[in-house]
Structures are given as C-alpha cells and as structure tokens.
Chain A
Amino acid sequence: MNEADQRIEAIHDEGLESGLAQFDEDRVKKIIKKVIEEEASPRLDAYLSSCVHCGLCSDSCHYYLSRDKDPAYSPAGKVKESLLPLLRGKKITPETLKKAAIISYTHCNLCRRCTMYCPLGVDIAYLISLVRRICYLCGVVPLYIQDTANSHSATFNQMWIKNDEWLDCLYWQEEEAREELPELTIPIEREGADVMYSVIGPEPKFRAQLIYQAAVIMEKAGINWTFPGTRGWDNSDMCMYTGDYEMMGRLKKAHFETAMRLKVDRIVMGECGHAFRSVFDTGNRYLGWKTPPIPVVHAVEFYHEILTQERITIKKKLATPVTFHDPCNIVRGRGLHEMAREVVGICCDTFIEMEPNREHNYCCGAGGGVINCGPPFKNERVLGNRVKAEQLLAAKAKGAEIVVTPCHNCHGGLEDIIHHYGIDMEIKFLSDIIYETMEI
C-alpha cells in the first residue's frame, strides 16, 4: 500500500462512516448508472477516451508538487483512483466508495489549474465533481461540509444564521459605523437600489467588521445600495461542492430572486471566490440561466471601478510591502488578476509578486470545499500545499509582510499554511487595505 493509500485508510470521518454504514452495492451501481446516463456530459466520455496518460498535468497540481511528486496526487492519478473504479470496476465495495469520496472531496480543490496544463484540455475538476455527485447521492460526504450543506438547506446560509440574527448584525454594524460617520445608513430592503450587496455567512457570524467596512466604502463612494433583509442575502454555496445540485439550485434561485424582487441593477458581492463561481457559472447554469440573470460584480471589480472613477480617494498609501494571492475562482474563473493588482497598486506603496502568478497561481488549498471538510482533513490540506508556503516564503524573503487576497476561503487556507509553516505574514482583504487607506 502506498503512502497516499495509508493516509486515506487512516481517515475517520463521521459523515463518511455513517453514509457507508448504509452501503448497498446495487443502489450504488444504480446511482452511478443514473449519473452517467442522465446527468453526465458526453465530455466525460471524450475526456476519458482521449486522455493519453501522458502525465503532463501532474506538475500543475499543488498536491502532487507538495507531496514530493507522489503520483497518487497527480490529477490523472486522482481520476484513476476515484472515478475509474466507480465507472469500470466490476465490484464496488465500501472501501472503493470511501476512497473515491476522500480523494474527490479532499485531494482536489477543483481549482482548474490542471486544465491549463493538459494539452488536451481534460477538465479534471469536472471529473472530480462527478465523483462528488455520485458520493453525495450515495450519502457518503464528509461530516463538516455536509453540515454546512445542511445549514444551507435549513437557513439558506452557510452558518445556521437565523433571520433575526442577520438583521440584528446589520443594525449593530450600522450603529457602530455611525460613531464614525453619523450620517451612515445600512439600507435594508431598499427597493430599486442600484446595487444589492451580498455576502457569505461567515461575515455576519465572525467578521462583522467587513460589513462595517463595506458600508463605509459604499457610503463614501455614494452608491445607492441595499442589503436584503430576507433569505437570499448569503451567496455562498457548499452544496455545489458536496454534489447536491438540487439544493444549489434552490440557494441560487433564492439569491437571484431576492435581487429581482429588490429591482436592483446588479449584485455586488463581497470578497469570496467560491460564491462567485456558484453565482457566475455553476448555479445559474443549473437553473437554466446562461449568465447570471442579474449581473454579478465581484468586489475586486467593484473596488477597481470606484477607485479608478475616483469615487473614493486614497489618503495615504500603505507603506508595508504587500504581496497578492490570486484566488482561483476569480482569476481562472473571471480574469480579475490585473484589476486586483491595480487596486493594490492604488492603495499600497510596494507590491511584490509571488511566482507563478495570475492564471498560473497555485490554489490556497482551501478551495473547492476542501477546507469545509474540517479537522479530519486539515493536515492533508496543509501538507498538500507546501508549494504555497514556499511561494509565500519567497515573497517574504523579498520583503512582503502582508498577503492580500480577496477571498474568504483563501484567507482560511493561507492562515493555516502560515501557521503551520511558521511564516510571519499578515493576511488582509482588499477592503481592509482600502478602508485603512481611504479618505473618510
């Protein structure tokens, strides 16, 4: 048994185990058949039959690179170990399914970097998502991410936040902000506003200062904006990552419906990557919308707009040297890397690049729902992203003290990496540095 297999064997996760306790081979086979016949794109067949097993995708994956080029972590290797046994194996055992679940949920960030490195354009992230879909339908999903998906089902947000708690947080942040800007309002349910601002569950729960900062930025930029007061305020989506596409659709419908009901021109969303993926191409398509029915603008794009139009002005640039981590979902997922650099340039004196960067940047290791799978998989996630630590250390050696990244998941991922590898760096959102440096 190779090392990767031993690690998989050693994992004990309540969610996986309770799902596997119900294991029934016939049912699993039926589910696989249904997914392949009714749901899977024929791209699946095209990918599997044209992959020439050349291994060129390997060097693109941070897991592979960080695990001393262990082939079990190469993109094609992961497909071989997770998808193929489900599709082609004569016998499917609970072990097969468990292994497929662990690999698909926790050894791949669905970061799509490998698609850029496979000459044939095999979309490994798509193949891994199919494995997740099968595992979800079989009820074999890691506990923590399933719990988050349950929260989505129960409350339509990621953090079990009830409606009064959401509103309470907005009133509280408004009160706080009024001490700084007595005129400030956090408009709730302002019908006909230009912008609906949407965030992810952790903002009201743990990082309420981000709501405060956003309100100050909106106020100073003179934006006619609003927060929804109902379900639909949260744009996050772990159901997309567990493979629960029905629930994903329900969440995205609630989100867009809210924007339609409020008659806004566009949705500006906070600094989150996976939520952007969910509203920008995955969730909307599942529902039948080619593009988001209400235009969605990521915070990076929005900050770029208000800074370049000089709707807010920077008082004094940040003197501390910063580096920038490109979040996959808005860089490979939307090409916002140049805009982000311009925003950083406007707010900071010294900018130091990490290598490789832009579309070629390594994932933070938290994306694709991997961090949401929780403590049983944390070690794997951090050790599986040594290359990120090396990137950060190199930037640090050149003087960078702050790493800026406009994504909540990246914050979580980088925090763990910085902590584990003992890198003395601070992590900030773009809104942190804008708020710090802007004229108020």
Chain B
Amino acid sequence: MSHTLYAFMTGIGFQLALMICFCGTVLKLLLFFKRVARKDRAFLTFFSFKYAGRSLLCHLVPFISRTSRIHPEMTTATAIFHGAVLSLPLFYSAHGVLLADSGLPRLPRFPEPLSDILALAALGALLFFLGRRLFLRTVRYISTPGDHLLLFSLIALFASGLWARFQMPGFPEATLIHLMAGNLLIASIPFTRLSHIFYVLLTRGYAGSEFGGVRMAKDW
C-alpha cells in the first residue's frame, strides 16, 4: 500500500501537482491580463520593466528596503525560509535523485550538511512565523484559518522531510507525509496565498512602476 502511494506521489501525483500548478498559474495570469486589458489600461500603460525590476530587487534583497531594516528578525527569517523553500526542492541530493529519475537533467546538489542546516533553519523560521501569528497582536488580528493551515502544511513539510532524512522511527510514514504535503503545496500555489510567488512580480512591479516611472519617487 505505502509503496503504491509512494510511487504515486513521486510519479503521477507529482506530475499532476506540477501540472495543476502550471496550468493554474497560466490561467490566473491569463485572466489577470484579460481583465487588465478591459478594466485597467493604466496598468499596461504604466508598467515599466525597469522600475518594476528596481523595486523588486530592492525588496527582495534583504536589508535594502527600510521595511526590511526596521524588522531585522523578520527579514532574516524570511530570507532563510525563502532561500530554503526555493532551493531545497531542486538541490537537496535526495530530491535530485528523484528528479533525475523522472527524466529531468541532473542538477547540482548541495552537500548534505548544507541541506540539513538550511532545512533546520527554515523550520526555525516557520516556527518564528507561527510565533508571530500566535503572539503578535497585529499579526494575530489579520491571520485567518487559511493562514494557519498553510503554515502548518509548511511546518509539516519541513518537519517530515527532516524526519525522513534522519531516518527517525516511523520515517516511511514521514516520507509519505512529506511527499503529500509537498505535492499539495505545489498544486495549491495558484489558488492560495502562495500565489504571491508570481503575483509579486505584478503587484510589487506595478507599485515600483508607478512610484518610479510616474511619481519619480523611491518605493523602498
């Protein structure tokens, strides 16, 4: 049973998740641009790659923007978490093997200790996020059940991943949980808050375009 599930999760399930993620994203973007063309011509007129790029850069690179400087802990946690969640799926060695098995070209692989440290740090960052959601009045105020669910899925993803990696007791189940969480998260990207992964290019980009191109002001 667990073998079939494992095979499914690393095979068709994974492909399906990627497909859903890809198609969903394309669909969302198509819809966005269709509506923009109809209702918000200013968006297309004023979007500037130069200023969008400038703004994205200043907000992505930690400690450039003022907002990142006045929240150093959050900036550090965010940087670590995003670094890990974007790199480990591709460059962690065990993932690399699986990816190569499914026909993808061989990618460079992180040394084990680096992956371990990254994953642990990301888990720490997630717990920090959880702490903020639970204990910071302002963040608690705007948090929704969906936010908590997402955070728990991510914690589950990293925790089970580490569990499996260190082959602690019950690790086959942990592996399954890891795969399941991973696939679900990938599939849910276009339909949840995770859509900020692609929307940020448009939202931050547009803010940057308006500030830089029209209003001649910095926005970081």
Contacts and interface: CB of A to CB of B under 8 A. Distances in A.
Q: Do chains A and B touch in the complex (CB under 8 A)?
A: yes
Determine which residue in A55, A64, A80 has the highest number of CB atoms from chain B within 10 A of its CB, and name it: A55
B165 interface: no
Nearest to B36: A42
Nearest to A285: B42
Interface stretch (A113-121, A312-320, A400-408): A113-121
Interface string B75-97: 00010000000000000000000
B39 A77 contact: no
Given A43-B206, A50-B196, A56 B219 contact: no
A60 B138 contact: no
Contact of A55 (B45, B65, B142): B142
B39 A121 contact: no
B121 interface: no
Interface of B: 31-32, 35-36, 39-40, 42-43, 45, 55, 59, 65-68, 70-71, 74, 78, 132, 136-144, 147, 192-193, 195-196, 199-200, 202-208, 211, 214-220
Interface residues of A, number: 48
A359 B32 contact: no
Interface of A: 38-43, 45-47, 49-56, 58-60, 64, 69, 71-72, 74, 76-77, 80, 115-123, 281, 285, 290, 331-335, 356, 359-360
Contacts of A331: 217
Contacts of B218: 116, 359
Given A119-B65, A335-B217, A359-B217, A39 B142 contact: no
A126 B65 CA distance: 22
Given A74-B138, A121-B200, A53 B217 contact: no
Contacts of B141: 71-72, 74, 77, 80
B137 A43 contact: no
B142 A53 contact: yes
Contact of B39 (A41, A71, A80): A41
Contacts of A39: 39
A120 B70 contact: no
B71 A360 contact: no
B137 A115 contact: no
B217 A121 contact: no
Contacts of A43: 36, 40, 43, 202-203, 206
A43 B40 CA distance: 9
A69 B138 CA distance: 7
A294 B88 CA distance: 54
A64 to B, nearest CB: 8
A80 B144 CA distance: 10
A187 B92 CA distance: 75
B40 A41 contact: yes
Contacts of A71: 137-138, 140-142
14 contacts: A41-B39, A43-B40, A45-B32, A54-B74, A55-B136, A64-B138, A71-B137, A74-B138, A77-B138, A77-B142, A115-B211, A116-B220, A118-B67, A360-B66
B28 to A, nearest CB: 8
Contacts of A52: 147, 193, 196
Is the contact region of chain B dominated by helix, strand, or loop, or is it mixed?
helix
Nearest to A64: B138
Contacts, number: 146
Determine which residue in B140, B147, B192, B218 has the highest number of CB atoms from chain A within 10 A of its CB, and name it: B218
A40 B42 CA distance: 12
B203 A46 contact: yes
A45 to B, nearest CB: 7
A331 B218 CA distance: 10
A115 B207 contact: yes
A319 B144 CA distance: 56
A99 B151 CA distance: 31
Given A56-B71, A77-B141, A47 B31 contact: no
A40 B144 CA distance: 24
Contacts of A77: 138, 141-142
A334 B215 CA distance: 4
A54 B193 CA distance: 11
A356 B69 CA distance: 13
B3 to A, nearest CB: 37
A281 B32 contact: no
Given A42-B31, A71-B141, A121 B216 contact: no
Contact of B35 (A42, A54, A332, A356): A42
Contacts of B220: 116
Given A55-B142, A71-B141, A116 B204 contact: no
A14 B2 CA distance: 67
B43 A333 contact: no
B138 A120 contact: no
Contacts of B208: 121
Contacts of A120: 196, 199-200, 203-204
A41 B31 CA distance: 12
A53 B147 contact: yes
A116 B36 CA distance: 23
A87 B200 CA distance: 22
Nearest to B136: A55
Contacts of B68: 119
A360 B137 CA distance: 24
- Kindly list the 4 A-B residue pairs having the minimum CB-CB distance in the complex, ordered from nearest: A335-B216, A71-B141, A121-B207, A121-B204
A119 B59 contact: yes
Contact of B67 (A60, A123, A332, A335): A60
B203 A121 contact: yes
B83 to A, nearest CB: 15
A59 B75 CA distance: 14
Contacts of A285: 42
Given A115-B207, A121-B55, 14 more contacts: A43-B36, A49-B192, A50-B193, A50-B199, A52-B147, A52-B193, A71-B141, A74-B142, A116-B67, A117-B66, A331-B217, A334-B215, A335-B217, A356-B66
Contacts of A46: 32, 195, 199, 202-203
